[in-house]
Amino acid sequence: MCGFVFLFHRNRSADNLRMTGTRALQRIVHRGPDERGLVIDNSWLMGHQRLSIVDLQSSRQPMFSPDKRHVLAYNGEVYNYRELRNQLEDEWEFTTQGDTEVVLAGLVRHGPDFLMSMEGMWALALWDSRAKTLLLTRDRMGKKPLYYQKTSNGFACASELPALAALELAPLDEDINSTADYLRYGFYLPGTTAFSGAHEVQAGHFLEWSDAQPVKQNPYWTLKIDRFKGSVTEARELLCDAMVNAARKRMIADVEVGAFLSGGVDSSLVVSLLNRELGISPKTFSIGFTDRTFDERKFARLIARQCATDHYEECLEDLDPQRLSQLILQHVGQPFSDPSLLPTSLVSELASRHVKVALSGDGGDELFSGYQRYQARAILRWYSRLPRPLRKAAGMAVRALPEPVAHHSRSIIKKAHLFIDAANRHTEDKPYIAPSLYSDKEFERLAPDLYDKGHKAPGLPESCDLDCVTQMMYADTLIYMPQDILLKVDRASMAHSLEVRAPFLDREVVELAFSLPRNWHRRHFSGKRMLKETFYDYLPPTLWKRRKQGFSVPVHEWFRNELKQELSVMLEKETGPVNLSFTHSLIKEHENKSRDNGQRLWNIYIYLSFIQKTRQQVSASHS
């Protein structure tokens, strides 16, 4: 993987552009420490930091077309580049062996239409220096990031927000609608950032800009649900072939490829496919926790032994505030409250000592109905038919029981608490956007001034004939996954110059999964049925039978120990839109163990930590 920046500014000198470009590239040197390229021309710059994976000795960037008219900065891997190269050889005289020149040739010759033929993950900028037009685009699922700003003086884009800020096109001021989104979901919605005027190129879209025209952004791909017309047996055969092909394509590299191995079904299946179908026993990497209810290392070891991998693991014992601060401020560049960012960073650091590329199991839950919330939503259809007094009594009875801090996979009472939370939000989740941390009433108490604020989620149909569980899977695939899961993995891995590839997110796998009837994925209280029935022999029965856990983090303990006092000190300094008394009530509930508010407190903690540390940096720079 790589990182890049671009700036067009009609009033900047060449010396200023060079200084600005160098400073911005330094902010993303972790994304590509192998090589730096910086091009300065009349009113514009393009810079690139390269992590060499394919065609190690050439394919340098920014890359020019033979006539020097077009220049490309590219962050990605196109797995079918050899086939595309063969198709383009009559139109282009290639001088390198990698995918970068194939992408350049295809876009120069065919424009955005070429994007539909590309299979892989990418973010890129193509500048036409003669017409002074810019093309930006991201891959279908949003695995690779790209942000931009536009003002009357010019245009800027960068792979990460700290690099965009370093281009100094315009100040990054807080967007109050985005703050409302963050406090509700723990992340920002597609196309938005924490800052007014700073935007995200949406997944599956291309953006065109010129100095004389407004920004135009259009989709080149949408997730359409075309009903599968074959039998279950035929679907299983297609799924097996698609997953094997997806894994095979993601082994294309001129460096060694390893794999994350959490101990869950998805990453275990990826490793097993490599071993059983491709004859590969990759290096594998796991992270555990001292809290046994969150530790999955014994299951990871089981797969490592079965597949004869060279297995490495480490344990996250304590919260490291310095690591957290570095990840949020220097890499994410805006508040982000998924605490698994920390162990993802740790497993990426571990892997980066041994390989430059690792495969992951990301996408399996969204595509194959693996999350517990899908089961809860299915049960809600029956629960909502109960008389209101009976539902109220059931909720009061559950709330009277102290909420355990154990992971929900090990506690019926914990699941009951989570179900009542979901039931209270049920009438408010229309349409469902993403897992919300608060009910409407709770959010109004948390941030009264933000109650009616927030962005409309793009990419979701206004109405459709999908059942409620499939609607959740659809929304999670287009919103929760790119804005939370994939952002987390990209920033945590690229912070350690590690490229991560996800076989489940291959276009063929995604489109096939969503074409299948919902009851093929989930029946009664069991999800991932299609995955299990297709690949049952690939994993030990123990893994298929165990309760879903996920890459969970024991934040509940942190807020009964070291972080409780730190959050209280933050609240004394400044609360922003966060209501002080309601936040203290969350702390009190958590402390007396009547309710597990660990995730809600983490969400608030990250927001306050980010805005306070950002303002400290601004003050220090002005002093």
List of domains in the chain: 2-219 (3.60.20.10), 232-368+490-545 (3.40.50.620), 554-623 (no CATH)
Identify the band that residue 325 occupies on the pLDDT scale cut at 50, 70 and 90: confident
Contact yes or no for 577/449 (Cβ under 8 A)? yes
Phi, psi torsion values for 588, nearest 5 degrees: -65, -45
Report the amino acid identity of residue 365. Answer: D
Spell out the residues 6+ positions from residue 296 whose beta carbon is closer than 8 angstroms to its own: 262, 263, 264, 286, 288, 549
Decide if pLDDT at 421 tops 80: no
Identify the band that residue 351 occupies on the pLDDT scale cut at 50, 70 and 90: very high
**pLDDT for 56-90, tens place per residue?**
888 899 999 999 999 999 999 999 999 999 999 99
CA-to-CA dists, residue 228 to 232, 237, 333, 513, angstroms: 10, 13, 41, 9
3-state secondary structure of 438: coil
Report the amino acid identity of residue 503. Answer: P
Q: Mean pLDDT across the stretch 422-443?
A: 76
Decide if pLDDT at 294 tops 70: no
User: Across all residues in the chain, what is the average pLDDT?
Assistant: 89
**Amino acid 476: pLDDT:** 95
**Amino acid 416: pLDDT:** 55
**Amino acid 423: pLDDT:** 59
CA-to-CA dists, residue 584 to 344, 476, 606, angstroms: 30, 31, 16
**Amino acid 618: pLDDT:** 63
- Residues 540 and 560: their CA atoms lie apart, in Å, by 37
- Residues 200 and 142: their CA atoms lie apart, in Å, by 10
Identify the band that residue 277 occupies on the pLDDT scale cut at 50, 70 and 90: very high
Decide if pLDDT at 9 tops 80: yes
Q: Which of 136-140, 337-341, 613-617 has the highest mean predicted lDDT (pLDDT)?
A: 136-140
**Amino acid 65: pLDDT:** 97
Helices vs. strands in the chain: H and E counts, helices first: 25, 19
Identify the band that residue 455 occupies on the pLDDT scale cut at 50, 70 and 90: very high
3-state secondary structure of 150: strand
- Residues 53 and 55: their CA atoms lie apart, in Å, by 7
What percentage of the chain carries pLDDT values higher than 70? 87
Identify the band that residue 323 occupies on the pLDDT scale cut at 50, 70 and 90: confident
Decide if pLDDT at 49 tops 60: yes
- Residues 344 and 491: their CA atoms lie apart, in Å, by 9
**Amino acid 240: pLDDT:** 98
**Amino acid 42: pLDDT:** 87
Q: Mean pLDDT across the stretch 282-306?
A: 86
Q: Mean pLDDT across the stretch 160-173?
A: 96
- Residues 60 and 37: their CA atoms lie apart, in Å, by 8
Q: Mean pLDDT across the stretch 546-573?
A: 79
**Amino acid 232: pLDDT:** 96
Q: Which of 54-58, 225-229, 395-399 has the highest mean predicted lDDT (pLDDT)?
A: 225-229
Bridge-based pairing state of the strands 133-138 and 120-128? antiparallel
464's tokens: 């459709």
Q: Mean pLDDT across the stretch 496-506?
A: 98
**Amino acid 458: pLDDT:** 83
Give exposure, 335-357, as e/b (b: 16+ Cβ within 10 Å). Answer: bbbbbbbbbbbbbbbbbbeebbb
Decide if pLDDT at 424 tops 90: no
Q: Mean pLDDT across the stretch 117-128?
A: 98
Helices (H), 140-286: 161-166, 176-185, 232-249, 265-278
Decide if pLDDT at 260 tops 60: yes
- Residues 128 and 207: their CA atoms lie apart, in Å, by 14
**Which of these ranges, 113-127, 376-390, 483-497, 520-534, has the smallest mean pLDDT?**
376-390
Identify the band that residue 211 occupies on the pLDDT scale cut at 50, 70 and 90: confident
Bridge-based pairing state of the strands 283-289 and 310-316? parallel
CB atoms inside a 10 Å sphere around CB 415: 18
**Which of these ranges, 3-12, 45-54, 423-432, has the smallest mean pLDDT?**
423-432
CA-to-CA dists, residue 50 to 34, 59, 333, angstroms: 6, 10, 21
Spell out the residues 6+ positions from residue 156 whose beta carbon is closer than 8 angstroms to its own: 5, 6, 7, 8, 9, 148, 149, 164, 167, 169
Higher pLDDT among residues 316 and 241, named by residue: 241
